[in-house]
Amino acid sequence: MESMFVVIANWVLLSCLWWLWFVEYKQYRLDRTRQDLFSVRDDLFEYWDRHNLDFDNPAYRLTRDMLNGSIRFAHRLSLIRLAGSFVSHKRFGKRLWVAHEEELARGLQSLPKKHRKKIQEARRDMHFLMIKHVGFNSLVLGTVYLLIKGILYLQRSFDSDRRTLHDLSRQFLPNLGIDAIDAEMVEVGREKYASS
């Protein structure tokens, strides 16, 4: 009788843990990611408005569409989808991204250097948030992320360098081929405007 109680108690406990992870925690991470993406988009908008810049600038429009697509698409972003995008992008070429990259380059060329930096910063922040979202939705990657963050925190306590995980991601993100996801996000962001 006692072993039956243990089995039932373990089953209930595992069910509660499953529910907490796959329902509550994942919804929290999704809401948090979207809120952070909204903040990046709002900061970019306020910066553009404060400096009286052209909202029709291709670099601004492309970045805004990417952010909107990321907000809209965040619930479908996963490690498998991210890996699939990288593989298909590498295998089938960069045709879709080339058009976006050319549009971005045209827009950036028409801006002074300090405004270009703001666009690039918003894009890097979006990439960081997307990868962080994928990492925290994976039990293994989330654990690795927390370990790295803990190590960097301890290192920062003893080291004057003070490089954060966000700084490291900014250094390594351009080499990940994240442009495949950018192209998808732009298309999703533009679908919203085309359908309304």
Residue 100 above 70 pLDDT? Answer: yes
Q: Of the candidates 196, 120, 135, 137, which has an alpha carbon nearest to the alpha carbon of residue 165?
A: 135
Lowest mean pLDDT among 18-22, 142-146, 159-163: 159-163
The pLDDT value given to residue 30: 94
Q: Is the dihedral of CA 70, 71, 76, 78 positive or negative?
A: positive
Tell me if 38 is assigned to some domain.
yes
- pLDDT exceeds 90 at position 146: no
For residue 152, the tally of other CB atoms under 10 A from its CB is: 19
Whether the per-residue pLDDT at 175 is higher than 50: the answer is: no
Helix (H, G, I), strand (E, B) or coil at 164: coil
Asked whether residue 153 is assigned to any structural domain, the reply reads yes
Which is more confidently placed, 12 or 2? 12
> Do the Cβ atoms of 148 and 140 come closer than 8 Å?
no
What is the spatial distance between Cα 135 and Cα 129, in angstroms, rounded to a whole number? 10
Lowest-pLDDT range, 69-73, 79-83, 171-175?
171-175
Say if 2 falls within a structural domain: no
Do the beta carbons of residue 175 and residue 131 sit within 8 Å? Answer: no
The more confident residue out of 148 and 61 is: 61
CA gap 68, 191 in Å, rounded: 10
User: What range defines the domain where residue 137 resides?
Assistant: 32-195
pTM of the model: 0.74
Tally of structural domains, the chain: 1
C-alpha closest to that of 134 among 174, 70, 82: 82
**Is the residue at 22 inside a domain?**
no
Report the pLDDT value the prediction gives residue 194, as an integer from 0 to 100. 56
